[in-house]
A and B are shown apart, each in its own frame.
Chain A
């Protein structure tokens, strides 16, 4: 260690005679760097960040923005690491991108709190007022809407637009909030438990370019195959559905006041049409791998026919089910005559956007622990759901709101941001919220995956009853 410092010191001495001060500081930096890389654990000049967020998707960047804007966290050093490139949208492209999300009002509130919602609405988003969900095997349907169709139920926004809006906000933040793009993490080093006094108590993050960063709190927002979660060895309950989702942008046959979201449960899986504009909608068709591949290979016309028939045809209904369904509906309307809503048919499709058919595999996952010492998982890294309820990103935004609030309180109480106490509170609160939702979604998916009469009857009755009872909805 001493030899290493003496040589550069001698060099610096010599250099001072010859080089200007500007170059000298460069030499100092190199010397410091050499010292640091040789003796990382002793390097007192390594910057210690307060929070490092790994993963700059919708949820990760929202977290960075949310922390940066919190008054109690003013001045804290926050860093966002994103492996991809910076998403900037100067001019919204004419074509829609295929990956869209349904943003709930709660998430919209979070986004407007960080100033990103305004950017989103200025760019492109589509509110919808009603959602009709119905069965292929029976006549049962359920519609969700806010009273009087005045308020929006939720918004369909392209994922890229959300990220670009948040990125714009991040650009405007003060220096303590930094983002590093095209940065890949290769290694995490976890700290020893806190009462081992000699070792460094912070989480160490090693980047692909060799840099090492230290942080008091690491937030893992790196998606369903989270490296943070894997490296921590957190047991995850997960399975792949034998399903893939086919997404596409659809051109409707005629312009319509496109403010209804449609979802029909086919035996092979749910097919959903989400409004993007008066003339275009987004398709999310979850079905078996085999069928999904077939769909991708169909030519455009056959693909459109398949979509239309999926929404319109009644071939899966049997007489038994129809009769039973009608009887039940009659009984219910005798008890509650005013409830229930008329069934509508979705708009027909005339064309699809160019090069817009894509498929991706579906699965579900839930990390048994969202937190560890100095680490927290948010978004898909902690929980991954089936898109049938459009809840995935909203759960993630819920995580962001909860964790920001708790970290803000902790900072106001002078606590170490990586302390386990408030992380435990975050985990408890979010698991209590997320687990029931995920279980319900999974149950729905399983219930609707079959043609068998008992299951169909059950869900028919259930759906109809729920449709008539506003409170359940």
Chain B
């Protein structure tokens, strides 16, 4: 993953910092025992398979979702994840919205009811899990959660935190890897038994992740790869509007310090319409979009109809059988959130 960044430098894609950053990552790559040749080979294999399956291809040959600058920034904040009044306080508060969002939409699709463990039997992938802030509540609700994050320190903190709780130990597992790597492994395992994907999840959650990624198309492709047909993808992110610049960057980062400075890059924000278009072109069907609003005084989030700043999105992967565009079973109504 780090040498992908080196590759991008060579191809002259935009948004990269000075060579010192590149050097740092080369050293980091060496430290993690990384093998350039192996990745090259894996990537070629993956591309060939995509070509065979007739998947949508973007222009450039290199696909990665991870932006190393972001990785570095989160590495420095790794110890602060579980401090509920620290840098990540707003993310802790956001659980009040995003956990019910995921839970209710998944419950709509479920037939059985398990009292006390509403998400029992479901496999969820938490992309960009960080310290496990969202993985743990979902695990508490009974789901089997796999959390992945490129920042190793965050994953270590997440593992430590979950280790104390005997219920969570069995249900929540973490791995320091990227989504492409996971998707790639899934691909490799699909070969012998194309019907039973070992890494096929019922739901993928990517909360506050999309605005930190380098390549959204790859992200969408990988999500589709790891999801079961009819599976759900939940995204929460920020809209690219003047208002979001004013509030999320100027006010939140620089004035009120709700978020550490430099966390967000406005260029990476994406509007719901664009994100929907992107996801639909990758075989997803939009189920609901809802705006979220943060109140800095009370420190609480609330649902709103206005998607101009933060919003949450729920899409489902189209069933392969339902190619005529009919909606998959399990509710296509917008879920009302209290």
Chain A residues proximal to chain B, CB less than 8 Å: 44, 47-48, 71-76, 194-195, 197-198, 200-202, 216, 411-416, 420
Contacts and interface: CB of A to CB of B under 8 A. Distances in A.
Nearest to A46: B166
Q: Chain B at the A interface: mostly helix, strand, loop or mixed? A: helix
B160 A76 contact: no
B137 A414 contact: yes
A87 B103 CA distance: 42
A414 B165 contact: no
Nearest to B80: A195
Contacts of B165: 48, 216
Contacts of A72: 115-116
14 contacts: A48-B164, A48-B165, A71-B116, A194-B82, A194-B83, A194-B84, A197-B82, A413-B95, A413-B103, A414-B103, A414-B137, A415-B137, A415-B140, A420-B84
B313 to A, nearest CB: 20
Contact of B166 (A48, A76, A198, A415): A48
B116 A413 contact: no
B140 A414 contact: yes
B116 A73 contact: yes
Contacts of B137: 413-415
B162 to A, nearest CB: 11
Q: Chain A at the B interface: mostly helix, strand, loop or mixed? A: loop
Contacts of B83: 194-195
A466 to B, nearest CB: 39
Interface in B153-168: 157, 160-161, 164-166
A301 B84 CA distance: 66
B274 interface: no
Contacts of A198: 160
B100 interface: yes
Contacts of A415: 95, 137, 140
Contact of A202 (B95, B99, B164): B164
B82 A75 contact: no
Contacts of A412: 103, 118, 141
A369 B95 CA distance: 26
B96 A413 contact: yes
A67 to B, nearest CB: 11
B180 interface: no
A413 B99 contact: yes
| 9 A-B pairs with the lowest CB-CB distances in the bound complex, closest first | A414-B137, A74-B116, A195-B83, A414-B140, A74-B115, A75-B116, A71-B115, A414-B141, A414-B99
Contacts of B164: 48, 200-202
A43 to B, nearest CB: 11
B121 to A, nearest CB: 14
Contacts of B126: none
B71 to A, nearest CB: 21
A371 to B, nearest CB: 15
A173 to B, nearest CB: 14
Given A195-B83, A200-B164, A201-B164, A411 B116 contact: yes
B115 A414 contact: no
B117 interface: yes
